Amino acid sequence: MKKIVILGSTGSIGKTLLKILQENKKFFKIELLTARRNHNELLKQAKKFNVKNVILTDPKIFTLHKNKFERNKIRIFNNYLNINKILTTKVDYVMSSIVGIDGLLPTTSLIKHTKNIAIANKESIICGWNLIKKLLKNHKTNFMPVDSEHFSIWHALNKKLKTNDVKKIYLTASGGPLLNVNLDKFNKINIKQVLKHPNWKMGKKISVDSSTMMNKVFEIIEAKKIFNASYKKLEILIHPDSYIHAIVEFKNKMISIIGHNTTMEIPIYNTLYEKNNLNKNNYQLDLKKLNNLSLTKVDLKKFPLVKILNELPEKDSLFETVLVAANDELVNLYLEKKIKYNDISSKLKKIIKINEVKSMKNKYPKTISDILKVNSFVRSLVQNMII
């Protein structure tokens, strides 16, 4: 019986994983589920899967609803400092799917407690991959990427993280909801349009990132770090159908094209099971899509944030944290209707030109504290700029 931990179980990745576990419930024991605020869903999940330990990190929500869990004989904690109390032996599998920079500390805290960790929290990889990599090695923990693009690259590389034989890696992007909108109409874009992704069901924040293609900038950074590839080896291609997720061109002239249906069930399932036998009739080969493949270069006038990739240093730095924090804050301000859509890209470009921010390119993230300090500094910078 495999022992499982799910960080961020009430989000879309966590729910998808639980759906997969439900199909073979008797083979798994969930040791811990966590959430930030969604206490109702967390309790429902804990009761359904007979989970005895949960973490609810929002202090107010924890205080208000603690008794509800305890009445159901579920131990509830309010932070990740209690991990040693909860997990006394190594579990088999951890899914890290907490959204945002908040996922960094939990992800690094769980590595020593598991044999395998699947990471869907891109901010952890972007900001703290050097720290994660060290912990993985020290605790002999296997790492598996969950994002469909990185999972596809990993699969093409035969589940290795080395790119010695690779000439080029292409990550595909759907182009999001604004792909076919004329550039001169961007200043009149409304939030409803931005949040209507053509292929994926996603949260608001990631939907905005998809529309600006900042999500793809982040995925390139992730790929660079995970697979130890230079930025010169990585490129984005627009693929509106989202059927092909990555293309790997090898030095021996062979090309691997990895595709699957637009569902996260497939990468999640394959990180969980050693044998790849996902039995879903609706996930068969789609010949219609294969016969109509469309792959094009990115229109940099329409998606100017992609040019930020030219600003990135090859070595790990705190500048990556700057990008995560600044973009996150700007997207939040946009969703709160405090700035316009075009302000996301224009103000982000201004922020990365500030001397104090540019200096982060030469600073190495030695600790989680370093990353969190830069995160707070940049968020304050953005708020002050807007106010």
Residues 126-136 have pLDDT tens digits of 999 999 999 99
| 283 pLDDT more than 80 | no
pLDDT at 386: 85
Could you please state the CATH topology (level 3) that the domain comprising 2-146 is classified under: Rossmann fold (3.40.50)
- Is a pLDDT exceeding 80 seen at residue 279? no
Supply 116's token pair: 């395998």
pLDDT at 188: 86
pLDDT at 282 over 80: no
Domain residue spans in the chain? 2-146, 148-302, 313-387
Domains 2-146 and 313-387 in one fold: no
What are the phi and psi torsion angles at 250 (to 5°)? -95, 160
Separation CA 176–CA 65 (nearest Å): 38
- How confident is residue 276, by pLDDT bands cut at 50, 70 and 90? low
* Whether the predicted pLDDT of 15 surpasses 70: yes
- Position 275 scores a pLDDT of 66
- Per-residue pLDDT at 196: 86
The percentage of residues in the chain with a pLDDT greater than 90, rounded to a whole number, is: 87
**Confidence at residue 370, expressed as pLDDT on a 0 to 100 scale:** 97
120 band by pLDDT with thresholds 50, 70 and 90: very high
The per-residue pLDDT for 31 is 98
Distance in angstroms (rounded) separating the CA atoms of residues 46 and 48: 6
Q: What is the pLDDT of residue 202?
A: 76
**pLDDT of 175:** 93
Q: What is the pLDDT of residue 29?
A: 97
At which residue do the structure tokens 């600003």 appear? 311
Q: Are β-strands 255-259 and 166-173 bridged in parallel, bridged antiparallel, or unpaired?
A: unpaired
More confident of the two residues 50 and 285: 50
What is the average pLDDT across 342-355? 96
Mean pLDDT of all residues belonging to the chain: 94
- Give 162-213 pLDDT, tens digit per residue: 889 999 999 999 999 999 999 998 988 899 999 988 777 777 898 999 999 9
Q: Residue 144 burial by CB count (10 A; 0-12/13-18/19+): exposed, middle or buried?
A: buried
Q: Which residues contact 227 (CB under 8 A, 6 or more apart)?
A: 153, 157, 161, 162, 163, 166, 169
Q: What is the pLDDT of residue 27?
A: 92
pTM of the model: 0.95
Alpha carbon distance 59, 20 (integer Å):
31
pLDDT at 281 over 60: no
> What is the strand order of the sheet 244-250 is part of?
234-238, 166-173, 244-250, 255-259
pLDDT of res. 285: 83
- Does the domain formed by 313-387 have CATH 1.10.1740.10? yes
For residue 105, what pLDDT is reported?
A: 96
Residue 96 has pLDDT above 70, yes or no: yes
